[in-house]
Structure 1
């Protein structure tokens, strides 16, 4: 774990455990408002780390601040929204909602349709493959 990214006490899953205090992520999101380049913000780095470690709700929480600060339209905003929706898809799997996972994966693929290479340091093909894995797990009822 990166030293500057706080680990939440648990991965929040609605209906299964307690939600984090409302202000828990405020410090992480603060750099977004300060206007730092996206890839250097703690929110961006935390969002990617949270996604990788299974903190899907938390990933959405911090990346939403990044998404709102990005120009619309832009490939960077689409990439960020795709990451948020992938986190949502993975969360829906944990909640036992495979149909919602499939619907969200369609949204992710649509956001990536015209994208290639890497955007904000995230490889588009990697993100597509993560969505395919989530779709397969949803179809298998995991």
Structure 2
């Protein structure tokens, strides 16, 4: 049975997680999307809205301000997600100017779609690997 890789890229501007005013995006991509044109309204829009809602729920637990959806960051993330999908790899964008979260998963179910909850839960679990208030010497996530 074929295995499909699904990916997701999210950016934050400014890259500081604790910023008082931030923009964010959630963009998903799959191999099927590489052949289809970008629509002005799509499943990606719903994914972005749901990802933002979940992300802001988690931020409220820690007293951090809500993020706002940025169409420009969504497009920027979608472009990178398509490159990663074509390359079948997962890596951070070189010389990235935004905070960046990556998510990837494999599935043999060709009808399966990545959902924002999975990506957000995975990123949230990485919090245990970070020391807040200090520059990291290395990143585990």
Taking structure 1 as the reference length, what is the TM-score of the superposition?
0.28
More helix by share: 1
More strand by share: 2
Taking structure 2 as the reference length, what is the TM-score of the superposition?
0.28
